[in-house]
Chains A and B, each alone.
Chain A
């Protein structure tokens, strides 16, 4: 699905060779400052590499329209932004952003269950805690149904138990719908339990046979 060849971005990312398979779960491990987030941003073209080429389905991504690419390869930031008003508005806004028709209320309610968010659709987002906001943003992203999900530490503001539950749900959802999931995490346990492939990053480079199936 993704192939990276001699990719350089500032002094943050130096990846000579990397393939990411489709319909698999890939975890990126590494300390903060290792270039994990930058790598994800390169994949959905939020930034452009200074050197090298990134291929998406064998096509160099600089030949693909950025917005069109991001609608297939959606990224969830580590601190996702919520937008004004209600839980419902925020669930729908992802689809609105990517020009997709809104989904019905039943769909929305089911999504709240998947991400374990015990809130009413009409609740104002200002009343949500950090963890609840994170789960809402995750639900918003899942509803967009792209081909690839890029998650930047989706469990960052969740306690370990909730984090495990949520990630399990997301992984199941991805597998059930045959999607690709690329996820940054700092928890080895999560990576080992769910990943088909683990990428280790140190100082922007892949180490210990990154990209090799465990």
Chain B
């Protein structure tokens, strides 16, 4: 494998020409997106520079507590994003369920992946642990967001049909089964679709990154296959926990629909 081409500052600067071209187009077309575009470019650059230095620091120190701390920050950020995206539609109980499902679903998948699949030693090696956990947590976040959206919407719009089922002697579980199934399905479909297109429609970011940094494509695909399965596991486990616990928050202990929290 060839050595990686190190980008000089000038080369990196040359890439910013794309932003300038877009700025000109936006200006001519009067799209009023200049500020947003500039902010996005600046934020992307500054955030990545900071992350770069932070990762260098973490890799150098390589301490289990630091790795755990990073994972917890990622989890907190992911949970915050899910709850923010869900908006006003979710009550306290549902927020609690999101926290429980995210933490248990992703942590179980990450630990299984690190310990059993990769067999990492030491287990906390940040060079592996952090990016892998990031991918598993990030994808679970996207999946659960879709699940939250679908479940909360359906439980509201199909309230009458749930109520009718209860009147006919259905348990809350039976009365909401098809909605729970649909929410689970909607949440895992994007992951399954991306598996279908993988390698043909697009090369995944991690694999591209590894190839660019000089790793053999064969090693890169091994990692990619493993990580994709890890993502599938993490998304499904997290979403499954969420929908299975989440629908219950719409019922009280008398098997009645809660009208308002």
Q: Which chain A residues have a beta carbon within 8 Å of chain B's beta carbons?
A: 44-48, 62, 65-67, 70-71, 74-77, 79-81, 83-84, 93-94, 96-99, 140-141, 144, 146
Contacts and interface: CB of A to CB of B under 8 A. Distances in A.
B170 A98 contact: yes
B168 A67 contact: no
Contacts of B254: 45, 48, 62, 66
Interface of B: 160-161, 163-171, 174-175, 178, 254-257
Given A46-B256, A66-B254, A97 B161 contact: no
B169 A48 contact: no
Q: Is the interface of B mostly helix, strand, loop or mixed?
A: helix
A66 B175 CA distance: 14
Q: Which of B160, B169, B175, B257 has the most CB of A within 10 A?
A: B169
A44 B167 contact: yes
Contacts of B175: 97
A47 B256 contact: yes
B167 A76 contact: yes
B168 A144 contact: yes
A83 B174 CA distance: 13
A83 to B, nearest CB: 7
B256 A45 contact: yes
A77 B163 CA distance: 9
B256 A48 contact: yes
A206 to B, nearest CB: 23
Nearest to B173: A67
Contact of A98 (B163, B164, B168, B257): B168
